[in-house]
């Protein structure tokens, strides 16, 4: 990898997405309610942590994650609670990290995996198989003796490569997962570092819950990785991640440009949801997406908000969550 870029192609779709994302970044940055609202920043950070850990099979729901971060007592597996505390700690320190430093990468992993693995803050010392969300081995990581050098070369290319950061950050994310430098925590570290790289390009990304969109499209996320593995290059993964970034920015832009006050918008949404529940026993995330014309992650935030307000209660219905009137 030294002195040459990792294998990928910049096609028309990628270029179009980069242009559209750059325009969205400009619009969101001009009138940025995220940066000016501590409550919204905290909410987005909680959703980021919940989503990134849920991808890794953490069992805590969004309410429990919120409680842990707020310092409240939560009855849950100690490992899952520790994962939330560790992730929150490192995301809160993100501004101080150098995205091109292998030392900072190791330091961040040490915080992220503190008390969870023996090799926290160290590159792995043994070979490892890389599994997808279903536990299937998709490929084997780089032999451990080559990991430090390859990670340093990847960081150097990401710093000096003459390609837009929107593309470079996606390439880094994929190549990082391909190398799989740690015994555990590679997925959450890859997503953290992707966000870190983007936040150094534009600070808006520090508070944008990109991980929430990935979580909502988890099978597509792993599929993009698998296809890229088969192709021997990361173009498909770049396309997928750019679509995720664009969706996250589009949702932020919707918040910024809305002329409806949060109170009025909440009232209108509740009116539609409560009307639906007059005719149905419960409502699901997909139902909310359809009746409110919002994304899955936005639907989750809406349902979580009304649950916290005591208007809904959540209960498992077969393989998904149903929300019932109280």
- The domain locations on the chain are 12-257, 262-325
- More confidently predicted of 252 and 147: 147
Instruction: Please check the confidence at residue 36 and state whether its pLDDT lies above 70.
Output: no
Residue owning tokens 């969550």: 321
How confident is the model at residue 31, as a pLDDT?
Answer: 63
Tell me what the mean pLDDT of segment 117-131 comes to. Answer: 91
Q: What is the pLDDT of residues 200-211, one digit of tens each?
A: 999 999 989 899
Q: What is the pLDDT of residues 268-322, one digit of tens each?
A: 789 889 888 988 999 999 999 888 878 888 889 899 989 988 999 999 998 889 9
262-325 belongs to which CATH class? mainly alpha
12-257 belongs to which CATH class? mainly alpha
């Amino acid at each position: 990898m030294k002195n040459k870029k990792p294998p990928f192609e910049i096609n028309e779709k990628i270029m179009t997405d980069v242009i559209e994302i750059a325009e969205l970044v400009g619009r969101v940055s001009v009138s940025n309610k995220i940066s000016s609202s501590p409550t919204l920043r905290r909410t987005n950070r909680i959703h980021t942590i919940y989503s990134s850990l849920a991808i890794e099979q953490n069992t805590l729901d969004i309410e429990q994650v919120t409680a842990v971060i707020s310092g409240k007592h939560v009855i849950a597996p100690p490992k899952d609670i520790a994962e939330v505390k560790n992730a929150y700690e490192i995301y809160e320190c993100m501004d101080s990290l150098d995205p091109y430093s292998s030392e900072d990468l190791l330091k961040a992993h040490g915080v992220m995996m503190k008390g969870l693995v023996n090799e926290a803050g160290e590159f792995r010392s043994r070979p490892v198989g890389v599994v997808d969300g279903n536990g299937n081995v998709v490929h084997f990581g780089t032999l451990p003796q080559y990991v430090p050098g390859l990670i340093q070369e990847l960081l150097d290319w990401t710093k000096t490569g003459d390609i837009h950061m929107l593309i470079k950050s996606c390439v880094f994310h994929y190549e990082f997962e391909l190398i799989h430098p740690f015994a555990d925590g590679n997925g959450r570290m890859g997503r953290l570092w992707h966000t870190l790289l983007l936040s150094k390009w534009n600070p808006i990304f520090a508070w944008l819950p990109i991980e929430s969109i990935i979580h909502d499209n988890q099978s597509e996320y792993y599929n993009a990785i698998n296809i890229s593995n088969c192709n021997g290059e990361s173009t498909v993964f770049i396309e997928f991640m750019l679509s995720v970034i664009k969706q996250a920015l589009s949702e932020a832009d919707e918040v910024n440009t809305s002329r409806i006050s949060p109170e009025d918008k909440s009232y209108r949404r509740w009116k539609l949801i409560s009307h639906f529940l007059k005719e149905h026993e419960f409502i699901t995330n997909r139902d909310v997406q359809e009746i409110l014309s919002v994304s899955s992650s936005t639907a989750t935030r809406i349902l979580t908000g009304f649950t916290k307000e005591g208007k809904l209660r959540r209960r498992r219905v077969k393989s998904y969550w149903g929300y019932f009137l109280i």
